[in-house]
């Protein structure tokens, strides 16, 4: 039997924490390299990166392979690590996902449809793009934006100059505003041997750019739509020679068609439902993939909803009194807009699930009303 493996993780937030929790039953050990100066994993060995080569050497001496839970990393750092230890997924995935222009070019090359877009480098070009695409449009920084940061909605071309100043980035991508029915995501896992498995698609509800609810599986999703999404994400996985969990966020339009929004090269917030609602969680499957182990079953056990706890926490005892409720706290201090925990609710039917979701939302200080486009079967 192989010895326990020490896995290095770039980033030290709640995603790394959940990776470690999934990895301990496999006799893994974890060493985190934090690049933000604010680690919150609260588990394993945490090192804070300060551009000192001896510290990086120390980190690499401790680990057998490296993965990451946070893609906003210096690409040069990841490339340097690749020279010494295996890194899964590879640095090319980070390079592409950090740059929305590169990401859109990859989608175009692989025939994955996206909202119409333009790249601009000046406020005047932003105004021209808004006129050409037709308002409203969404302007986003080409790099560094996530969870709604670094972007603005422009409802009139005259707002372009102010949006340019507010975003404060030298290059923006401007996208047509999509009349979508719902936001969805597909999560897939690719092993070192090229095997790919897919999770059921999730429907996601965002508020102010932050995910609040994810439901999977979707009761009214046509099998053909799941297959189309599977094809899109498989093309990305194969093109990048990817190993691990990849997430693709999409808009579903009224005719059922899908438009790609963005991808994330890591375990993802919209896959947290898998911890209690799938046969194998995204976290365990990511670890299986990067270690070259067989991938686990991705089927949903029952209808599941993930509820994000943002800003302020509710009473844990009241939440855990709900039927089939599973609370995952991140041990982080309360702060507006901060992800503090999530709750997975599981039920035998989507109707019963929505009742539990509404009851749970009522226990959280800052939970919005859950609104899903599907009609749960009676």
Q: Tokens for 271?
A: 């896959």
Contacts 24+ apart (CB under 8 A), 280-285: 281/22, 282/187, 282/189, 282/199, 282/245, 283/18, 283/19, 283/21, 283/22, 283/23, 284/22, 284/23, 284/26, 285/189, 285/197, 285/245
Q: Tokens for 311?
A: 């800003």
Check: CB of residue 119 under 8 Å from CB of residue 172: yes
Burial class (CB in 10 A: 0-12, 13-18, 19+), 320: exposed
Q: 377 pLDDT exceeds 50?
A: no
Q: Confidence band (pLDDT; 50, 70, 90) for 149?
A: low
Q: 317 pLDDT exceeds 90?
A: yes
The rounded Cα 247 to chain-centroid distance in angstroms is 6
Domains of the chain, each with CATH number or no CATH: 6-87 (3.40.50.20), 116-176 (3.30.1490.20), 180-363 (3.30.470.20)
Nearby residues of 235 by Cβ (< 8 Å), 6 or more positions away: 110, 111, 112
Check: CB of residue 244 under 8 Å from CB of residue 290: yes
- 284 annotated as belonging to a binding site for a ligand: no
Closest CA to 155 of 174, 134, 135, 177: 135
- 140 annotated as belonging to a binding site for a ligand: yes
Average pLDDT, the chain: 93
Instruction: Give tens-digit pLDDT for 88-128.
Output: 999 999 999 999 999 999 999 999 999 999 999 999 999 99
Instruction: Give tens-digit pLDDT for 260-280.
Output: 999 999 999 999 999 999 999
Opening angle at CA 147, ends 146 and 151, nearest 5:
65
Burial class (CB in 10 A: 0-12, 13-18, 19+), 25: exposed
Instruction: Give tens-digit pLDDT for 178-198.
Output: 889 999 999 999 999 999 999
Closest CA to 244 of 195, 186, 297, 300: 195
Q: Confidence band (pLDDT; 50, 70, 90) for 148?
A: low
Q: Tokens for 139?
A: 């302007």
Radius of gyration for the alpha carbons in the chain, expressed in angstroms and rounded: 21
- 197 annotated as belonging to a binding site for a ligand: no
Runs of H (alpha helix) within 110-213: 123-133, 160-167
What is the chain's length?
A: 378
Q: Which residue has the tokens 């603005």?
A: 152
> Looking at 68-72, 302-306, 328-332, which range is the least confident one?
68-72
- 262 annotated as belonging to a binding site for a ligand: yes
Mean pLDDT of 354-369: 96
Check: CB of residue 209 under 8 Å from CB of residue 151: yes
- 183 annotated as belonging to a binding site for a ligand: yes
- 29 annotated as belonging to a binding site for a ligand: no
Closest CA to 376 of 185, 182, 218: 218
- 151 annotated as belonging to a binding site for a ligand: yes
Cβ atoms within 10 Å, residue 323: 11
d(CA 5, CA 317): 36
- 326 annotated as belonging to a binding site for a ligand: no
d(CA 35, CA 44): 16
Q: Tokens for 162?
A: 């102010």
d(CA 213, CA 76): 35
Closest CA to 113 of 196, 202, 231, 211: 231
- 338 annotated as belonging to a binding site for a ligand: no
Q: Confidence band (pLDDT; 50, 70, 90) for 86?
A: very high
- 176 annotated as belonging to a binding site for a ligand: yes
Instruction: Give tens-digit pLDDT for 327-338.
Output: 999 999 999 999
Burial class (CB in 10 A: 0-12, 13-18, 19+), 283: buried
- 3 annotated as belonging to a binding site for a ligand: no
Opening angle at CA 135, ends 130 and 139, nearest 5:
55
Closest CA to 32 of 16, 52, 51: 16
d(CA 214, CA 194): 28
> Looking at 119-128, 139-148, 203-212, which range is the least confident one?
139-148
Q: 378 pLDDT exceeds 50?
A: no
Q: 144 pLDDT exceeds 80?
A: no
């Amino acid at each position: 039997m192989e010895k326990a493996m020490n896995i290095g993780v770039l980033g030290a937030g709640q995603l790394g924490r959940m990776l470690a929790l999934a990895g301990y039953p496999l006799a893994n050990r974890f060493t985190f390299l934090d690049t933000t100066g604010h680690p919150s994993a609260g588990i394993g060995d945490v090192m804070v990166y300060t551009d000192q080569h001896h510290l990086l050497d120390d980190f690499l001496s401790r680990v057998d392979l490296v993965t990451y839970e946070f893609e906003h990393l210096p690409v040069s750092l990841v490339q340097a690590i690749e020279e010494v230890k295996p890194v899964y997924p590879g640095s090319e995935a980070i390079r592409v996902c950090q740059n929305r222009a590169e990401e859109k070019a990859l989608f175009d090359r692989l025939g994955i449809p996206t909202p119409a877009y333009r790249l601009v480098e000046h406020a005047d070009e932003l105004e021209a793009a808004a006129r050409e695409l037709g308002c409203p449009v969404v302007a986003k920084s080409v790099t560094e934006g996530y969870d709604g940061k670094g972007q603005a909605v422009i409802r009139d071309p005259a707002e372009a100059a102010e949006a340019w100043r507010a975003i404060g980035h030298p290059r923006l991508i401007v996208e047509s505003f999509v009349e979508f029915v719902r936001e969805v995501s597909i999560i897939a896992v690719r092993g070192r041997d090229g095997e790919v498995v897919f999770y059921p698609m999730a429907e996601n509800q965002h508020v102010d750019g932050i995910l609040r609810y994810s439901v999977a599986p979707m009761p009214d999703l046509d099998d053909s739509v799941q297959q189309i999404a599977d094809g899109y994400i498989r093309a990305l996985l194969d093109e990048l020679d990817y190993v691990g969990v990849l997430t693709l966020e999409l808009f579903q339009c009224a005719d059922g068609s899908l438009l790609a929004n963005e991808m994330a090269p890591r375990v993802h917030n919209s896959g947290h439902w898998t911890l209690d609602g799938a046969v194998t969680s995204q976290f365990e499957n990511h670890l299986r993939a990067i270690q070259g182990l067989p991938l686990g079953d991705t089927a949903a056990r029952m209808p599941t909803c993930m509820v994000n706890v943002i800003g302020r926490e509710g009473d844990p005892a009241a939440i855990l009194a709900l039927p089939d409720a599973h609370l995952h706290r991140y041990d982080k201090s309360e702060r507006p807009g901060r992800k503090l925990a999530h709750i997975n609710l599981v039920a035998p039917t989507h109707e019963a699930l929505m009742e539990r979701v509404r009851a749970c939302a009522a226990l959280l200080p800052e939970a919005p009303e859950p609104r899903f486009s599907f009609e749960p079967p009676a």
